[in-house]
Amino acid sequence: MSEMEPAKNMISIKIDGVEYKAKEGEYILNAARANDIFIPAICYLTRCSPTLACRICLVEADGKQVYSCNARVKEGMEITINTPNILKERRAIMEVYDVNHPLQCGVCDQSGECELQNYTLELGVDSQSYAIPDTKRETKNWSSVLHYDAGLCIVCERCTTVCKDMIGDAAIKTTKRGGAALDKDYKATMPKDAYAMWNKLQKSIIAPSNGTDYTNCSDCGECIAVCPVGALVSRDFQYTTNAWDLKRIPATCAHCSSGCQIYYETKPTSIADRTEKIYRVTNEWNYISLCGAGRFGYDFENRVEGKDQEAFTKAVEAFKKAKVINFTSVITNEEALMLQSLKEKMGVKLINREARAFQRFLDFYSQASGNSLYTTDFKEVMATDFVMSVGTSLRNDNPNARYAFNNIQKMNKGAGLYFHPVGDNLVPTFGKNIEMFTHKVGQEELALLLIIDLFADHDKLPNSVKEQLDRDKLLEALGKDSEAFAKSFDKMMKKKESFSLMVGEDLYFHEKAENIAKLIAVLENSSSVKVAMIPPKTNSLGVALICDLDDEAEGYTIGYNALGDFRLSALGDGDLDMPSMNQQEGTLTNMHKRVTPTNAALEYHGYELNDIMAELISAPKYTIDWTPHLPVEKGFKSINFDDLPNEYKNDGTENRGYLLDTTTKEVGEIEVDKFDDSTVLDGEIAYRCNPQRQFNDFTNKAHQIFEEFGLYASKERAETLGKRVTVEFDNGSLELDVIVDERMDGDIVAVPDFKSAENIYELFGASRYQKVIIREV
């Protein structure tokens, strides 16, 4: 309940003579912002390390000039925001930024939402005192989505900072510009900070850090979001519209379980076609970072002409004779509740593979630990300084979990342990104190046992666990040398105070899921490690809580965005059209255990699930009328949809929807099974895992997501495989193109599941790993 927690360690400071409260150890700038006080600042990004590029956030604290973005508040500190000298510095800095900045504001994509313009006006720059010959700076396309106009760049380094400290790609850096040297006279005549800032600015420009013209990154576009000027824009958006023409619709991203807050920005398609179209997605980049799917995968709407009555009648008939409803986790809580009502009233069975696996795992966990839900959200994880990850391909499963892992290394001087059978060469670059455990498939329990051994209070452990704890043996089994590990672990543990663990989908789709859930409960009971779980898909958590899902079912099946005899589809390829996530209102339950509202960005003229409900059982007028009826006993609250907020506050508080209530009850001692090798896989293995930026059919429909459906393999492995292969499973086979994922390591190949038509879940069954035979075609 982080938002209800009483603020701890509050101290009082004085800003311009007025007393305010601030969190101890916070930067002056953040403390001022939390109190709604404005201090000019360009280069600073909340949640990232101070860059000190712009120097405009100068303030006077206790009589000394400091940069408010990297000076921390102290009890009784007296801060003056404007002194004559500081105003002189700030004005000179803005004049310098304006030197040689192209006067093409009329066509610039920032279209007035420009911090350079704003601060130039704010500081009253009405004349220019400085000059230097300009350098030719070329515009470049860095990737399939990124466009960089070096001429407009003011080298505030926000893009490089966010890429390094938050995203973890570090795909761009500052490099030499080759500009003229400053006139020596300026040193004596100019304000000091302005001169130092100009000296650095004149020498640098941003470029891909791999030395080529193209970035090797996950194309998340966060650099575009943070750019204060129009230097970085998406290639698709460039010159298509002005910011002021766009209507912003607050929503929740529906691609993965992180449920980020986004704005869909819409405008009529063209002069001839006045239907609204989404031009881009923006976010509150100071408080939440998006991934490439969220930012660029927005045009997955299902355009329909009108209500197709014939199809609707057929749909109602189909529902009347249906035995099974097969659906995915890309569904709102309200629709999940509708399906659950159908089950209760008409006795259909509900099938949702990913949510069912997660539901089982949550049940096992609750039985063992007594907690109704996992105890930690990812915000709390991000505040820890030692993070571990088991059973998730961080880079692909959930970008925000990956950002948290990276951010801990960069901002909290953190350390990390990464357990996963598929090697990854990006994660080790997040920080110096990261140990990679590329263990065998099926050894997830050993990873957890090792974590228990490392962090738990051994006196509190049940005997069934204690007897399995032999550190040397565990390390050996996980492929580490125990002496070397002991040494690096000692180094990692220095000055570490808080610990967290994130676990993912591998553990839910696991033969020994029950035992694993127990181990997690043991870890929580006996140590201070906070455990957060990553729900497999968008609203898996919501579905797992709301629906009473079935394991297997046979008979006439209705597929909702999934396979079935009668198909409801928001992709436009089914028997009856449904609105897609950007065309409907509703709530989603994200991995932070938060129920967040999303709004309709685009109009939809067809039938909704609620209309079918009205025919079959009774239904209220709108889908959102179901919102207050979400099951309170599962932690939901009885709040009307229209009363749910969707915003961030100035101090970074997430004021979106509400948090699920969790309850705790007493349970007895946990009995854990002994580990055996029966689940360990050897040989040729395929892993069910999507490429970055692909999560489901909807991301695949978006025109700026280019990742193909194919067999992803590390560079070395791809060379041995050839161009196109058949992958043979026990119960079927696939023919796929081989695609190199340069960030993968090792021999395991990844088969995506984002195309529901390919029925990948059927091939993999109850596990994310399967033994396969791969043959070149």
Give the count of beta carbons closer than 10 Å to the beta carbon of residue 367.
14
Interacting residue with other proteins among 2, 12, 83, 128 (CB under 8 A): 128
∠ CA 544-328-578, nearest 5°, is 125
Q: Which segment (123-131, 164-172, 365-373, 425-433) binds other proteins by CB under 8 A?
A: 123-131
- Write out the H or E segment, with its range, that includes residue 419: strand 415-419
Closer to other proteins by Cβ: residue 245 or 676: 245
Closer to other proteins by Cβ: residue 114 or 659: 114
Q: Which two tokens stand for residue 652?
A: 């970074």
Interacting residue with other proteins among 44, 130, 327, 709 (CB under 8 A): 130
Q: How far apart are CA 588 and CA 110, in angstroms?
A: 31
Residues in CB range of 212: below 8 A, 6 or more apart? none
Q: How far apart are CA 505 and CA 487, in angstroms?
A: 31
Contact call for residue 411 and other proteins (CB under 8 A): no
Q: Are 96 and 132 in contact (CB under 8 A)?
A: no
Q: Which two tokens stand for residue 201?
A: 């600015």
The three-class DSSP label of residue 357 is: helix
Closer to other proteins by Cβ: residue 130 or 437: 130
Block residue for tokens 């009971």: 525
Q: Supply the angle between the helices 84-98 and 192-203 in degrees, to the nearest 10.
A: 20
What are the Cα distances from residue 277, in Å, to 29, 600, 776? 38, 12, 43
Contact call for residue 239 and other proteins (CB under 8 A): yes
Spell out, one character per residue from 161 to 190, where the chain touches other proteins: x when CB under 8 A holds, - when not: ----------------------x-------
Block residue for tokens 């990956």: 402
Closer to other proteins by Cβ: residue 239 or 481: 239
For residue 241, the minimal CB distance to other proteins (Å) is 7
For residue 19, the minimal CB distance to other proteins (Å) is 42
Contact call for residue 618 and other proteins (CB under 8 A): no
Interacting residue with other proteins among 117, 144, 199, 238 (CB under 8 A): 238
Contact call for residue 733 and other proteins (CB under 8 A): no
Closer to other proteins by Cβ: residue 296 or 485: 296
For residue 134, the minimal CB distance to other proteins (Å) is 7
For residue 185, the minimal CB distance to other proteins (Å) is 12
Contact call for residue 144 and other proteins (CB under 8 A): no
Interacting residue with other proteins among 2, 12, 83, 139 (CB under 8 A): 139
Q: How far apart are CA 589 and CA 252, in angstroms?
A: 10
For other proteins, the binding residues in 61-120 under the rule CB under 8 A are 105-107, 111
What are the Cα distances from residue 465, in Å, to 418, 451, 453, 633? 22, 12, 9, 33
Give buried/exposed letters for 433-461 (b at 16+ CB in 10 A, else e).
bbbbbbbbbbbbbbbbbbbbbbbbeeeeb
For residue 711, the minimal CB distance to other proteins (Å) is 35
Closer to other proteins by Cβ: residue 126 or 305: 126
Contact call for residue 38 and other proteins (CB under 8 A): no
Largest CA distance in the chain: 87
For residue 248, the minimal CB distance to other proteins (Å) is 16
Q: How far apart are CA 61 and CA 12, in angstroms?
A: 14
AA letter at 607? Y
Q: How far apart are CA 290 and CA 540, in angstroms?
A: 19
Residues in CB range of 483: below 8 A, 6 or more apart? none
Contact call for residue 663 and other proteins (CB under 8 A): no
For residue 128, the minimal CB distance to other proteins (Å) is 4
For residue 189, the minimal CB distance to other proteins (Å) is 13
Q: Which segment (68-76, 264-272, 462-470, 751-759) binds other proteins by CB under 8 A?
A: 264-272
What is the chain's length? 777
Contact call for residue 122 and other proteins (CB under 8 A): no
Interacting residue with other proteins among 17, 133, 306, 347 (CB under 8 A): 133
Closer to other proteins by Cβ: residue 72 or 140: 140
Interacting residue with other proteins among 24, 36, 62, 245 (CB under 8 A): 245
- List the strands of the sheet with 434-437, edge to edge: 434-437, 415-419, 386-390, 499-503, 530-533
What are the Cα distances from residue 477, in Å, to 471, 490, 508? 10, 20, 22
Q: How far apart are CA 140 and CA 207, in angstroms?
A: 9
Interacting residue with other proteins among 82, 117, 118, 242 (CB under 8 A): 242
Q: Which segment (133-141, 720-728, 739-747, 762-770) binds other proteins by CB under 8 A?
A: 133-141
Q: Which two tokens stand for residue 177?
A: 């510009």
Closer to other proteins by Cβ: residue 277 or 688: 277
Interacting residue with other proteins among 16, 36, 134, 719 (CB under 8 A): 134
Closer to other proteins by Cβ: residue 17 or 106: 106
Contact call for residue 241 and other proteins (CB under 8 A): yes
Q: What is the DSSP letter of 502?
A: E
Query: Binding residues for other proteins, how many (CB under 8 A)?
Result: 26
- Contacts with other proteins, residue ranges (CB under 8 A): 105-107, 111, 126-134, 139, 183, 235, 238-242, 244-245, 270-272
